[in-house]
Amino acid sequence: MPVTEQNILEITPRIIALLEGWSLSPEQISTLLGLSEPLKSRQLRKFRSGSAALPFSGELAERIEHINGITEALQTTFPRNAEMRTLWLRQPHRRFQQARPLAIMLDEGLEGLIRVRIEVDCAWGWSLSEPGSHS
């Protein structure tokens, strides 16, 4: 489902739950989503409950799209082991010169999300090389 201003309230609790499932701190969640200020516990509770929406922007929508793509690819790679999905994000990876995928995403922002998605979602990465494709 594409992220739009109209459906951001519906998507907010799912994306917060997903990132908390990755064992991210509120500061890391803020960074990954490209928010200008760190999330407070009260905000997280509102987002989790669906009583408030993340502040919509085009960049936030793109970041959520990549986070969802990474999540789906990890579910395909590790269909029976949710722990391995989180572990993959936290382990050094040879294709990132032994950097951890999570560190790449946090340190490089949107470009880091794209790099990690290309690595874990080969079909999506391949589609970028096709003429007329858009990221």
Span 65-122, pLDDT tens digits: 999 999 999 999 999 998 999 999 999 999 899 999 999 999 999 999 999 999 998 7
pLDDT averaged over every residue in the chain: 91
What is the residue extent of each domain of the chain?
8-128
Closest CA to 57 of 36, 41, 39, 88: 36
Secondary structure (H, E, C), 7-66: CHHHHHHHHHHHHHHCCCCHHHHHHHHCCCCCCCHHHHHHHHHCCCCCCCCHHHHHHHHH
